[in-house]
């Protein structure tokens, strides 16, 4: 009889270990998926360059360029990138217009951009997939015809930030 509690307790320990291993594996898988979603260029994003986009209420003026910030109020990479976006807005004195596109309702999107980036940035509420964007943050340089000239995906490295900032000088 003394063997029965011992066997039962060993089975409980084994079951608990199996549950812990399963939870760790699931969390690792979900973490990897989230990381890849924001740090890898998906095939559809790679084809954004050369694509012509339209945004409701935004007029792409001939002989000018627009920098589109595709962001979301719920994206922590976007929040991490706020200082960079603030610098862009502060340095932009040239012919490039900056437009923030968010999937949230316009009032919420405007409030977020005005408080977190700059009041001077134009705000559009639109589903990001309508312009071919699948992940945030995404930065697009668009010409006067709405054609994407360059695209940057995810939280930008120092080199990526320098590339974008050089457009505004």
Which string of b and e fits 103-121 if b means at least 16 CB within 10 Å?
bbeeeebbebbeebbbeeb
DSSP state of 103: S
58 and 79 fall within a common domain:
yes
Number of domains in the chain: 2
Range of the domain at 21: 1-40
Lowest-pLDDT range, 1-10, 60-69, 117-126?
1-10
Q: pLDDT (tens digit, 9 = 90+) per residue, 127-162?
A: 999 999 999 999 999 999 999 999 999 999 999 999
- Residue 131 and residue 70 in contact, taking contact as beta carbons nearer than 8 Å: yes
pLDDT digits (tens, 9 = 90+) for 53-92: 999 889 898 888 999 999 999 999 999 999 999 999 998 8
Does 47 have pLDDT greater than 90? no
- Residues 134 and 56 reside in one and the same domain: yes
Query: Which CATH number do you get for residue 68?
Result: 3.40.30.10
Pair (21, 64) in one structural domain: no
Do 63 and 102 sit in the same domain of this protein?
A: yes
Q: Is 0.85 topped by the overall pTM? A: no
% pLDDT > 70, the chain:
90
DSSP strand pairing (138-142 vs 148-153)? antiparallel
Rounded CA gap, 66 and 15, in Å?
Answer: 58
| 67 and 34 within one domain | no
């Amino acid at each position: 009889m003394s063997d029965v509690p011992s066997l039962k307790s060993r089975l409980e320990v084994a079951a608990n270990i199996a549950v812990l291993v399963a939870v760790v594996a699931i969390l690792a898988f979900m973490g990897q998926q989230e990381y890849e979603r924001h740090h890898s260029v998906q095939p559809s994003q790679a084809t954004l360059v050369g694509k012509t986009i339209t945004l409701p209420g935004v007029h792409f003026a001939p002989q000018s360029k627009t920098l589109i910030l595709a962001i979301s109020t719920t994206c922590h990479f976007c929040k991490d990138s706020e200082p960079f976006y603030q610098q862009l807005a502060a340095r932009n004195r040239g012919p490039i217009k900056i437009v923030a596109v968010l999937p949230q309702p316009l009032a919420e999107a405007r409030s977020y951009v005005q408080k977190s980036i700059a009041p001077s940035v134009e705000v559009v509420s639109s589903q990001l997939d309508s312009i071919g964007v699948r992940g945030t943050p995404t930065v697009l340089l668009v010409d006067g015809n709405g054609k994407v000239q360059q695209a940057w995906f995810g939280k930008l490295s120092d080199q990526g930030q320098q590339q974008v900032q050089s457009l505004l000088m």
